[in-house]
């Protein structure tokens, strides 16, 4: 299963980048990272592994694409997953918002929601029509009650 995650992530990321080519003369920034189970996640007996990539494009007014792959979650379950505005070492901060202090929804925030399969593996993608600022620093996976069970720094 460990070998499957990088292969699946590469396939998904290649699909994202080939389906959304960077326009000539435009700039794209790619950040990525690996999920680590938080102490709260360990207390709940999770061992979450996975990867994510964020592609921030300037062209056309800006665009952000996030793709996440995670395993070690409960089967057939939906997990909230959000881009956060601080690194994991400081707890991840709050949800990143395109309009700070604006509406809490999947248009103003970046929510690559995870829906696991029968093996507890999930692939998620979120696309937004704005370029995420530098304060989009991490991705946090939340358990059903909001507890942060995994975190990934986008570097």
Q: Residue 8 pLDDT more than 60?
A: no
Read off the pTM.
0.85
pLDDT at 26: 62
What is the DSSP-derived secondary structure letter of residue 36? E
What is the DSSP-derived secondary structure letter of residue 86? S
List the domain boundaries for the chain. 4-19+27-153
**Residue 118 main-chain phi, psi, to 5 deg:** -70, -15
Q: Residue 143 pLDDT more than 80?
A: yes
Q: What is the pLDDT of residues 115-138, one digit of tens each?
A: 999 999 999 999 999 999 999 999
What number is the average pLDDT over the span 143-153? 98
DSSP element (H, E) containing 11: helix 4-19
Pick the CATH number of 4-19+27-153 from 2.40.30.20, 3.30.70.260, 2.60.40.200, 2.70.70.10: 2.60.40.200
- In angstroms, the CA 114 to CA 96 distance is 18
Q: What is the pLDDT of residues 47-99, one digit of tens each?
A: 999 999 999 999 888 999 999 999 999 999 999 999 999 999 999 999 999 99
Chain centroid to Cα 130, Å, comes to: 16
- In angstroms, the CA 115 to CA 98 distance is 24
User: pLDDT band at residue 25, thresholds of 50, 70 and 90?
Assistant: low
Q: Collapsing DSSP states into helix, strand and coil, what is residue 149? A: strand
């Amino acid at each position: 299963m460990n070998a499957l995650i990088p292969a699946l992530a590469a396939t998904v990321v290649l699909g994202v980048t080939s389906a959304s080519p960077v326009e000539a003369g435009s700039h794209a920034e790619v950040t990525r990272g690996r999920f680590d189970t938080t102490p709260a996640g360990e207390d709940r007996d999770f061992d979450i592994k996975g990867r994510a990539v964020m592609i921030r494009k300037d062209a056309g007014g800006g665009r952000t694409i996030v793709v996440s792959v995670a395993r070690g979650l409960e089967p057939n379950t939906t997990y909230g997953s959000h881009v956060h505005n601080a690194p994991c070492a400081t707890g991840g901060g709050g949800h990143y918002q395109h309009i700070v202090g604006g509406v809490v929804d999947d248009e103003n925030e970046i929510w690559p929601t995870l829906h696991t399969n029968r093996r507890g593996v999930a692939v998620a993608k979120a696309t937004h029509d704005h370029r995420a600022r530098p304060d989009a620093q991490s991705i946090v996976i939340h358990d059903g009650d909001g507890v942060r069970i995994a975190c990934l720094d986008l570097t």
